[in-house]
C-alpha cells in the first residue's frame, strides 16, 4: 500500500505529464474549452481516489476511461435537463415555476443523477420509472420488455446502490 505522500506524487506526475493531452482529448469531444477544462479537472480528482493509481501501466488509457465515464454522466445530465426544460415549455404561462424553483429542480436532478451513477442503464431506468413516474413493477416490466423478476432484481440493486452511497 502506498502512502499519502506517494499517492500525491503519483497524481502530480500524472497531472503534469498528461493534463494537456487530456484537455485536448476532451475538447475534441465537447468542442468547448471550458467544459473540457472542467472535465479534465474532474478526471484528475477521480483519479486521486482510485485504488488503481499506484499500478497504472497505461496512464492515457486510464485517464480516457475515467473521462469517458464523466462524459457519459455529463451527456446524461444534460439530456435530463433538456427534457425537463422541454416539459416546462409545454406548461401554460400561469403555471410556470419561478426561476428559484427551476434551479431547485435542476439541483435535485443533478443529485439524483450522481446518486444513480454507476448503476447499469436498465436498473437506473427501472428505478426512475418506479420512484419518479410511479409505475408499478409489472408496468415497468412491460415498458422495458423484461420479466417481472428482472425488474425486481434491478430495483433491489438500485435501492441497495442508493443506500450504499455516501451522503453529502
Task: Please tell me the pTM assigned to this model.
Answer: 0.61
Q: How many CB atoms lie within 10 A of CB 22?
A: 25
Q: How far apart are alpha carbons 51 and 6 in whole angstroms?
A: 13
Strand residues in 50-135 grouped as ranges (E): none
CB 116 within 8 A of CB 162: yes
pLDDT tens per residue across all 168 residues of the chain: 445 557 777 878 889 999 999 999 999 999 999 999 999 999 988 888 777 666 788 999 999 999 998 998 888 888 878 888 888 888 888 888 888 988 888 888 788 878 888 888 899 899 988 988 889 999 999 999 999 999 999 999 998 988 886 554
Pick the CATH number of 97-167 from 1.10.150.20, 2.40.50.70, 1.10.10.10, 1.10.510.10: 1.10.10.10
Q: How far apart are alpha carbons 120 and 38 in whole angstroms?
A: 25
Residue boundaries of the structural domains of the chain? 1-94, 97-167
Amino acid at each position: 500500500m502506498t502512502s499519502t505522500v506517494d499517492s500525491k506524487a503519483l497524481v502530480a506526475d500524472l497531472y503534469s505529464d498528461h493534463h494537456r493531452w487530456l484537455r485536448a482529448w476532451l475538447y475534441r469531444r465537447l468542442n468547448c474549452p471550458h467544459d473540457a477544462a472542467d472535465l479534465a479537472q474532474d478526471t484528475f480528482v477521480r483519479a486521486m481516489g482510485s485504488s488503481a493509481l499506484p499500478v497504472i501501466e497505461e496512464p492515457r488509457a486510464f485517464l480516457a476511461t475515467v473521462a469517458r465515464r464523466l462524459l457519459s454522466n455529463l451527456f446524461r445530465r444534460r439530456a435530463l435537463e433538456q427534457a425537463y426544460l422541454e416539459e416546462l415549455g409545454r406548461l401554460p404561462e400561469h403555471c410556470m415555476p419561478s426561476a428559484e424553483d427551476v434551479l431547485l429542480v435542476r439541483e435535485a436532478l443533478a443529485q439524483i443523477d450522481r446518486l444513480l451513477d454507476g448503476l447499469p442503464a436498465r436498473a437506473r431506468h427501472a428505478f426512475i420509472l418506479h420512484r419518479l413516474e410511479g409505475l408499478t413493477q409489472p408496468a415497468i416490466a412491460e415498458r422495458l420488455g423484461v420479466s417481472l423478476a428482472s425488474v425486481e432484481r434491478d430495483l433491489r440493486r438500485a435501492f441497495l446502490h442508493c443506500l450504499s452511497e455516501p451522503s453529502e
